[in-house]
């Protein structure tokens, strides 16, 4: 708190100064009033007149405000001057009253009877000790022999310890320890200084100094200083926090309380670690009480990327009164630190035992275990066990056991709950503490932690034939419930057992890899990998057994309930088959498509835990809905050599269960025929072109994947004969007919059969895929026949003979002689010579030939 001092003379001088300032401002305002309020217009126009009036109005308003400010200034100056007079009057009155005391003070100071003690011992009888200089590690000075606090210790130099706090005399508090110095590049942090002791009669101990930080890559942070103690009445000082470093420094221990009365000091927190290979430091233990008082709480463990530090244990309470100190929480890290144990209450007190510390969280490993609760006094309750830490990358920590009640009467402490897990088993609950000897209820057991979810299976490796997906991980088991504590030996109920933890769900299976395409022309595509099996669900935790009741009166505790098992994981999807390689000149037929992979089986559910009620059995995982599809067949080669036959399309791969069959590959087109020769002599017909090459057959569609339990099958209609498929598409397969079986539960729909490939000209259409077992799958369509090779180009007809004078249009044709016709094989008829007579009507033989041709077309269905 800051204080304000004054004298009447100062107030009078300030009032005089303010009066002079006010007079100066008043003179300035008066001098400026005439020139600012009576402005003349710059011209005789309306605008100039308005501007002059505007500025004059503003000046008048300003001077009005100045007059109000001057009035307020005068009032304030008068009040200040009056206050100075009032102070002067009060000082005169005090001088008359306090005069004798002032004279005595003056006489005592002239005697200087305190000076010999300070000269002889280095400390005064009354007064505080001097503080140590910063950066030197100098200790604080001691307080006065009678009254006075100890001085604070100075901070340490680089890597050096801090100075200790000074101790008090008879009455006073100890000084705080100085902080340890920060390390050099290769050294360790300096330790914190110890706190000074409190007065012999009364006073608290000083706090320990914090440890210095370590800034290198392999050093240790400085340890926290120990808290100072109290001698007779007073609290112990808190321990200093440990310094951070590659490995943290330990927290300082709390100071002890006064012998008669006082609480123990809290332990300092452990230093954090900054290296992935170091560890968090242990928290300091709490200070102890002696006759009457509570024990100090333990310090928390250090945190960091590596292992967390353990929490410090609590200090014990006074003999006749007080509660035990609670344990410190474990530090979080890759593996969580364990919580500290709570301490016991006074043996003759009715205080409760200290609670156990909570286990630290394991970021990539197990959670820390909870600390045990402390025992109660002769009529006190036991402390509650600490909760186990959560295991984000491992198992949950075990809950701490509850503390025992007092040796005579009292209730046992409850066990701590087990920590849950993200991927592993849940931690077991801690056991409940037993009740007092004569009477009391046993502590309840802690509940088991929840199991984690199983990991998802890895996907199959791409490009590897039959690259199967990995199996899903099994869900973590739920933790078991803690056993209930025993009731009083003579009277009292047993503690209730803890409930088990819920089992974790199984992980999903990994997806099978897709098959690789055919590596060489006409090569077979790779098979898709099967999906991974789904992981099994974790088992539910078992309920803890109830504690025993008293011999004369009391009931046994109820057994805890079992929990449900986890659900099984879903199976992974099958991979798709690879595409068959396309044909080329060296291998004209397309390759067969790879088969699709089967989906993985679903995981089984976990068993329910036993207990007062049995947990439900976990459900099996859902069935996979997507199997791998078969790969498409490779396309047949389309040759370029005249008259060559096109390659056959590859067959489609079979689909995995629930998957679709692959499409058949397209047949290659037949090459065009050789062109017919030109006519040699005038009037000769051109030669017939050679027949085009036959188109390749379309590949057969792949089989659809199998489905569920129903017994149904599809049947394909046979393809047409080759002589009736010229220039026609392959016939679609008919839908499969149901067989009236008695399967248990309808299967899922079978995959669709693959479509047949598009054939080359003139090729046979591919067969439709056979439908899958189960509910009838869609029948695959047969591949279309390939296009026939183009006919040869007809030769050019010969030129007619030159006409004579009598026959300018060549030889005359008679009416009865029909014009010569081009050969039937020619693509274009030859030009008939000019004639003068009309064309004769067709003979009856020509009509018969036409009827035969129509009948032939009807039979072949063209």
Q: Specify the 3-state DSSP secondary structure of 786.
A: strand
CB-CB contact of 593 with 678 (8 Å): no
The arithmetic mean of pLDDT across residues 193-218, rounded, is 93
Reported confidence tier of residue 324, pLDDT bands at 50, 70, 90:
very high
Highest mean pLDDT among 628-642, 732-746, 790-804: 628-642
Task: Let me know if residue 22 belongs to a domain.
Answer: yes
- Backbone φ and ψ of 100, nearest 5°: -60, -40
Name the token pair of 486. Answer: 């025993």
> What's the CA gap between 392 and 243, in Å, rounded?
27
The arithmetic mean of pLDDT across residues 742-760, rounded, is 37
The arithmetic mean of pLDDT across residues 360-380, rounded, is 92
The arithmetic mean of pLDDT across residues 663-677, rounded, is 75
> What's the CA gap between 376 and 363, in Å, rounded?
34
Q: List strand residue ranges (DSSP E) for 451-506, in order.
A: none
> What's the CA gap between 325 and 236, in Å, rounded?
13
By C-alpha distance, which of 198, 152, 143 is closest to 175?
152
The arithmetic mean of pLDDT across residues 185-206, rounded, is 93
CATH number at residue 19: 1.10.287.850
Query: Model confidence over 487-542: pLDDT tens digits?
Result: 888 888 999 999 998 988 988 888 888 888 988 888 888 888 888 888 888 899 89
Q: Which residue has the higher pLDDT, 307 or 22?
A: 307
Name the token pair of 593. Answer: 């498509």
Query: How far is the CA of 682 from the CAs of 686, 799, 801, 835, in angstroms?
Result: 11, 4, 7, 18
**pLDDT given for residue 733 in this prediction:** 32
Reported confidence tier of residue 833, pLDDT bands at 50, 70, 90:
very low
The residues with which 261 forms a beta bridge, in sequence order, are: 233, 292
Task: Let me know if residue 566 belongs to a domain.
Answer: no
Instruction: Give the single-character DSSP code of 522.
Output: T
**pLDDT given for residue 691 in this prediction:** 67
**pLDDT given for residue 211 in this prediction:** 95
Q: Which residue has the higher pLDDT, 453 or 762?
A: 453
Tell me, rounded to whole angstroms, the distance of Cα 373 from its chain centroid.
33
**pLDDT given for residue 809 in this prediction:** 39
Among the ranges given (31-40, 64-73, 198-207, 509-518), the one the predictor scored with the smallest mean pLDDT: 31-40
CB atoms within 10 A of CB 715: 14
Among the ranges given (50-64, 321-335, 408-422), the one the predictor scored with the smallest mean pLDDT: 50-64
- Domain boundary at 29, 49, 84, which? 84
Domains identified in the chain, total number: 3
Residue 783 confidence (pLDDT) above 50: no
Task: Let me know if residue 63 belongs to a domain.
Answer: yes
Task: Let me know if residue 687 belongs to a domain.
Answer: no
Query: Model confidence over 231-261: pLDDT tens digits?
Result: 999 999 999 999 999 999 999 999 999 999 9
Among the ranges given (67-71, 281-285, 339-343), the one the predictor scored with the smallest mean pLDDT: 67-71
**pLDDT given for residue 403 in this prediction:** 94
> What's the CA gap between 305 and 307, in Å, rounded?
7
Reported confidence tier of residue 665, pLDDT bands at 50, 70, 90:
confident
> What's the CA gap between 577 and 530, in Å, rounded?
11
- Domain boundary at 749, 764, 790, which? 790
**pLDDT given for residue 308 in this prediction:** 93
Tell me the average pLDDT of the chain: 77
Q: What angle do CA 623, 626, 629 make, to 5 degrees?
A: 145
Share of residues in the chain with pLDDT > 70 (%)? 70
CB-CB contact of 416 with 370 (8 Å): yes
Q: Which residue has the higher pLDDT, 137 or 5?
A: 137
Query: How far is the CA of 791 from the CAs of 559, 666, 697, 708, 829, in angstroms?
Result: 93, 22, 20, 52, 15
> What's the CA gap between 626 and 508, in Å, rounded?
14
Task: Let me know if residue 813 belongs to a domain.
Answer: no
**pLDDT given for residue 258 in this prediction:** 92
Task: Let me know if residue 618 belongs to a domain.
Answer: no
By C-alpha distance, which of 678, 705, 580 is closest to 634?
580
Residue 804 confidence (pLDDT) above 70: no
Q: Which domain holds residue 774?
A: 649-669+694-790
Query: Model confidence over 700-723: pLDDT tens digits?
Result: 666 665 554 333 333 333 333 333
Among the ranges given (380-389, 689-698, 797-806), the one the predictor scored with the smallest mean pLDDT: 797-806
- Domain boundary at 33, 50, 84, which? 84
Reported confidence tier of residue 862, pLDDT bands at 50, 70, 90:
very low
Query: Model confidence over 681-693: pLDDT tens digits?
Result: 766 666 666 666 6
Name the token pair of 424. Answer: 């592993």
Task: Let me know if residue 256 belongs to a domain.
Answer: yes
Q: List strand residue ranges (DSSP E) for 95-189, in order.
A: none
Reported confidence tier of residue 99, pLDDT bands at 50, 70, 90:
low
Reported confidence tier of residue 699, pLDDT bands at 50, 70, 90:
low
Query: Model confidence over 576-618: pLDDT tens digits?
Result: 888 988 988 888 888 998 898 889 888 888 898 888 888 888 8
> What's the CA gap between 305 and 310, in Å, rounded?
15
Task: Let me know if residue 415 belongs to a domain.
Answer: no
> What's the CA gap between 407 and 434, in Å, rounded?
10
CB-CB contact of 696 with 667 (8 Å): yes
Residue 317 confidence (pLDDT) above 50: yes
Q: Which residue has the higher pLDDT, 179 or 831?
A: 179
> What's the CA gap between 130 and 121, in Å, rounded?
14
């Amino acid at each position: 708190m800051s204080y304000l001092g004054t004298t009447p003379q100062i107030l009078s001088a300030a009032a005089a100064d303010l009066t002079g300032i006010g007079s100066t401002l008043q003179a300035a305002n008066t001098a400026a009033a005439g020139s600012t309020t009576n402005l003349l217009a710059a011209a005789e126009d309306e605008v100039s007149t308005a501007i002059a009036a505007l500025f004059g109005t503003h000046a008048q308003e300003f001077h009005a405000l100045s007059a109000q400010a001057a009035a307020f200034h005068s009032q304030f100056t008068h009040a200040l001057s009056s206050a100075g007079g009032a102070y002067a009057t009060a000082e005169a009155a005090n001088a008359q009253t306090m005069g004798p005391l002032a004279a005595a003070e003056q006489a005592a100071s002239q005697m200087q009877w305190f000076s010999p003690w300070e000269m002889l011992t280095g400390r005064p009888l009354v007064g505080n000790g001097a503080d140590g200089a910063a950066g030197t590690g100098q200790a604080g000075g001691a307080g006065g022999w009678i009254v006075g606090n100890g001085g604070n210790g100075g901070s340490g130099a680089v890597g050096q310890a801090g100075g200790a706090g000074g101790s008090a005399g008879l009455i006073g508090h100890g000084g705080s320890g100085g902080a340890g110095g920060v390390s050099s590049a290769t050294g360790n942090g300096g330790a914190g200084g110890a706190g000074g002791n409190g007065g012999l009669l009364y006073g608290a101990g000083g706090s320990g100094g914090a440890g210095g930080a370590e800034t290198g890559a392999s050093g240790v942070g400085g340890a926290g200083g120990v808290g100072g103690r109290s001698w007779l009445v007073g609290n112990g000082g808190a321990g200093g926090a440990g310094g951070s470093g590659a490995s943290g420094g330990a927290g300082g221990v709390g100071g002890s309380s006064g012998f008669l009365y006082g609480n123990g000091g809290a332990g300092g927190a452990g230093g954090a670690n900054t290296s992935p290979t170091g560890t968090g430091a242990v928290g300091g233990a709490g200070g102890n009480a002696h006759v009457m008082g509570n024990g100090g709480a333990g310090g928390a463990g250090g945190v960091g990327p590596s292992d967390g530090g353990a929490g410090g244990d609590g200090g014990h309470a006074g003999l006749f009164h007080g509660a035990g100190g609670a344990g410190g929480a474990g530090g979080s890290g890759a593996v969580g630190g364990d919580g500290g144990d709570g301490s016991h209450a006074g043996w003759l007190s009715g205080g409760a035992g200290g609670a156990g510390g909570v286990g630290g969280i394991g970021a990539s490993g197990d959670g820390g275990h909870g600390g045990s609760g402390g025992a109660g006094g002769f009529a006190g309750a036991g402390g509650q066990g600490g909760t186990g830490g959560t295991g984000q990358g491992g198992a949950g920590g075990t809950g701490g056991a509850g503390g025992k009640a007092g040796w005579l009467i009292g209730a046992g402490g409850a066990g701590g709950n087990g920590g849950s897990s993200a991927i592993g088993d849940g931690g077991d609950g801690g056991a409940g503490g037993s009740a007092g000897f004569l009477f009391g209820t046993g502590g309840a057991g802690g509940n088991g932690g929840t199991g984690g979810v199983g990991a998802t299976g890895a996907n199959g490796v791409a490009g590897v034939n039959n690259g199967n997906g990995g199996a899903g991980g099994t869900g973590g088991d739920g933790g078991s419930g803690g056993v209930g504590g025993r009731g009083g030996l003579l009277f009292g109920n047993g503690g209730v057992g803890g409930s088990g933890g819920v089992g974790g769900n199984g992980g999903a299976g990994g997806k099978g890899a897709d098959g690789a395409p055919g590596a060489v022309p006409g090569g077979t595509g790779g098979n898709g990998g099967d999906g991974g099996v789904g992981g099994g669900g974790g088992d539910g935790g078992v309920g803890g057994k109830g504690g025993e009741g008293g011999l004369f009166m009391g009931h046994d505790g109820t057994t805890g309930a079992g929990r449900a098992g986890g659900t099984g994981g879903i199976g992974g999807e099958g991979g798709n088959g690879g595409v068959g390689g396309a044909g080329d000149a060296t291998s004209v037929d397309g390759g067969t498509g790879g088969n699709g992979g089967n989906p993985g089986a679903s995981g089984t559910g976990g068993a329910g835990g036993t207990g007062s009620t049995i947990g439900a059995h976990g459900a099996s995982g859902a069935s996979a809905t997507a199997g791998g599809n078969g790969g498409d067949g490779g396309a047949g080669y389309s040759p370029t050599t005249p008259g060559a036959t096109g390659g056959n399309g590859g067959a489609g791969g079979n689909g995995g269960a629930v998957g679709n069959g692959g499409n058949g590959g397209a047949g290659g087109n037949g090459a065009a025929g050789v062109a017919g020769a030109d006519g040699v002599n005038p009037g000769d017909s051109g030669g017939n072109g050679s027949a085009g090459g036959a188109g390749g057959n379309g590949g057969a569609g792949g089989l659809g994947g199998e489905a569920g339990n129903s017994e149904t099958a599809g049947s394909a209609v046979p393809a047409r004969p080759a002589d009736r498929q010229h220039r026609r598409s392959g016939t679609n397969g008919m839908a499969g007919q149901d067989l009236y079986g008695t399967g248990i539960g309808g299967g899922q729909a079978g995959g669709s059969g693959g479509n047949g490939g598009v054939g080359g000209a003139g090729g046979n259409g591919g067969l439709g895929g056979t439908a899958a077992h189960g509910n009838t799958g869609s029948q695959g369509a047969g591949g279309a026949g390939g296009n026939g090779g183009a006919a040869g180009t007809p030769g050019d007809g010969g030129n007619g003979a030159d006409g004579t004078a009598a026959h300018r249009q060549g030889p005359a044709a008679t009416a009865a002689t029909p014009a010569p016709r081009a050969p039937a094989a020619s693509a274009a008829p030859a030009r008939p010579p000019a004639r003068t007579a009309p064309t004769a009507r067709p003979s009856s033989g020509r009509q018969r030939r036409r009827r035969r041709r129509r009948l032939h077309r009807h039979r072949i269905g063209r």
